[in-house]
Amino acid sequence: MAEKQKAFQKCINPDCGAEFSCAEAFFKCPKCGDLLDIKYNWSEIETPKKMSDFAKRWAAKNNRLDFSGVWRFRELLNFCPDDLKISIGEGQTLLQKNDMLAEFIGMKPGCLRLQYEGLNPSGSFKDNGMTAAFSHAKMVGAKSCACASTGNTSAAVALYAHHSQMKCTVFIGSGRIAFGKLSQAMDYGAKTIQIMGDFDDCMKQVQAVCTELKLYLLNSLNPFRLEGQKTIMYRILEGLDWKVPDWIVVPGGNLGNSSAFGKAFFELKQLGLIDRIPRLAIINAAGADTLAELVNKRNLKWNDGKIDNKIIHDFYAELTTKKFSPHTCASAIEISRPVNLKKCLRAIDVCNGVVRAVNDQAITDAKALIGKFGLGCEPASAASLAGLEVLLAEKIIKPDETVACVLTGHCLKDPNVTVNYHKEKGGRYSNPPVESPNDLQQIIKLMS
């Protein structure tokens, strides 16, 4: 049906493969309930001959779409007419070469980059996805939207909903969200519902609410969100003068990013815009390590889309029996039933990926290092560096390989974790404040 359209939606399950127009809004395949992908008829789209052609758009920054770090690459996510694109200047992010940190963790100079997505308008990578999904929401005429969130999604949805003049409700687990984020959702005018449960409970409820009340869902189940998140990889290539790195390291929660990154590289290779695909390392928190468990211990694989669902169902049944609720200081990735699991398996297949889990001590130590040597980040983002250290120790990543760690969220999201880490002096890099009487001589003494 969709042959002549530039873009269409398609179920990822090869036994279903149903196709739908982009003028419709679903968050699951209406035929079989599996995940939906955005597919492109590339022959209908004028794509650039080489990635560096996109660089010309730096010179036209007063064009709002060229200014956006997402829409600058619009031919590669070509599902929406330009006049319907919602942008608030997202994607002005930074690929920082960090030799001091590289040396500290035993890598060669020039090999480590930090992609700081905290620089987005709402403070996390989510804005890359929201600009795309809200543009789609506008295409389908949605008036009201909702999401479940561990924090960043709620802030990003609330911000973009405001700019799209849509009503917005965010569902968060009671006591499971950093205050910096809760404050944003309230400030941007979203209705905030705190559910007595964890993120997985919120995710389940929000899907039911969106179905019942016909609201537009903005979690990464929404395939249009992932189209926007592909551009994080384009910007990493841009920051490396269009050279493909050896490794991308990213924290894994609901697994939208890893899924989007795999899709980005698959498409670029298909289009002949890159000559090789980097490897992907996805890092779970040990307290929320579903992906690591399923991939490394239970041998779950993409298998050309014919995934062994029994492995997943059995594991989830075990979690239910144990009444398991995930716990980690990296609240953003405190998720035990990641909705994009299957697409992530595909990304692992495409990118010859690996999965590791790191504990909270390793995450907070890594966070302190990124603070000390880099630009800082929130706890979940630091899982990427902690994971890189593990993979260097295992000699899976070599010290002279080019690595980009994606720092997904801003360092001011969760100051409690940071201040406690330093004050409690328990971490390898704790830098506690010193108390002083209000007396000049004593202050000077303390400074020596």
Q: Coil, helix or strand for 53?
A: helix
- CA distances in angstroms from 63 to 55, 71, 84, 213, 354, listed in the order given: 14, 10, 14, 37, 40
Looking at 33-41, 106-114, 144-152, 297-305, which segment touches ligand F0G (CB under 6 A)?
A: 144-152
DSSP bridge pairs for 191: 169
Candidate residues 342, 386, 409, 417; the one interacting with ligand F0G per rule CB under 6 A: 409
Minimum distance, C-beta of residue 332 to ligand F0G, in the bound complex (Å): 3
d(CA 201, CA 248): 30
CB closer to ligand F0G, 273 vs 282: 282
Minimum distance, C-beta of residue 204 to ligand F0G, in the bound complex (Å): 14
Candidate residues 87, 98, 115, 124; the one interacting with ligand F0G per rule CB under 6 A: 124
Candidate residues 102, 381, 417, 422; the one interacting with ligand F0G per rule CB under 6 A: 381
Minimum distance, C-beta of residue 186 to ligand F0G, in the bound complex (Å): 16
Binding mask 151-190 for ligand F0G (x = CB under 6 A): xxx-------------------------------------
Minimum distance, C-beta of residue 146 to ligand F0G, in the bound complex (Å): 12
CB 78 within 8 A of CB 45: yes
What the block records as the tokens of 126 is 């989510």
CB closer to ligand F0G, 7 vs 347: 347
CB 385 within 8 A of CB 98: no
Q: Which of 376, 373, 399, 378 is nearest to 388 (CA)?
A: 399
Looking at 36-44, 69-77, 249-257, 417-425, which segment touches ligand F0G (CB under 6 A)?
A: 249-257
Q: How far from chain centre, in Å, is Cα 328?
A: 17
Decide if residue 364 touches ligand F0G (CB under 6 A).
no
Candidate residues 173, 251, 287, 326; the one interacting with ligand F0G per rule CB under 6 A: 251
330-351 core/surface letters (b: 16 or more CB in 10 A; e: else): bbbbbbbbbbbbbbbbbbbbbb
Candidate residues 98, 231, 257, 364; the one interacting with ligand F0G per rule CB under 6 A: 257
Torsional sign, CA 294, 341, 328, 351: positive
CB closer to ligand F0G, 71 vs 171: 171
Binding mask 70-109 for ligand F0G (x = CB under 6 A): ----------------------------------------
Q: Which of 220, 418, 380, 349 is nearest to 284 (CA)?
A: 380
d(CA 328, CA 115): 23
User: Which positions touch ligand F0G (CB under 6 A)?
Assistant: 124, 149-153, 220, 251-257, 332-333, 378, 380-381, 408-409
